[in-house]
Amino acid sequence: MIDLYTARTPNGFKATVTLEELEIPYNVQAFNLSDMTQKEDWFLKINPNGRIPAIMVHR
Ligand SMILES: N[C@@H](CCC(=O)N[C@@H](CS)C(=O)NCC(=O)O)C(=O)O
C-alpha cells in the first residue's frame, strides 16, 4: 500500500493525479502547510526536505 502525504498545491496535485491515472490504490494524508506539519520530526523521516508531496510504499 502507498501512503501519500500532500496538500492543496500544484505540486501536491501532481502526485495525486499520477496515482489516480495509474489507478494505484493509496491512503492520503492532506496537510495544511501553514500548520507546518511538513517540518515535524516524524515527517522529516519520510521526506528530509520537509516538503510535500511525499510517498511511502509499504511492502
Ligand atoms: N520539487 C519540490 C516540490 C515540493 C514543494 O515545493 N512543495 C511545497 C508545496 S508545492 C512545500 O511543501 N512547501 C512547504 C514548505 O516548504 O514548507 C520537491 O519535491 O522537493
pLDDT in tens, 27-55: 999 999 999 999 999 999 999 999 999 99
Provide the whole-model pTM: 0.94
Q: 57 with 51: CB under 8 angstroms?
A: no
**Per-residue pLDDT at 44:** 98
| Contact 19 CB / ligand 1 (< 6 Å) | no
Ligand 1 test: best mutation among 16, 31, 52, most atoms within 8 Å of CB?
52
Mean pLDDT score of the chain: 97
The protein residue with its alpha carbon nearest to ligand 1, atom 11, reads 51
**Residues 4 and 16 sit within 8 Å (Cβ to Cβ):** yes
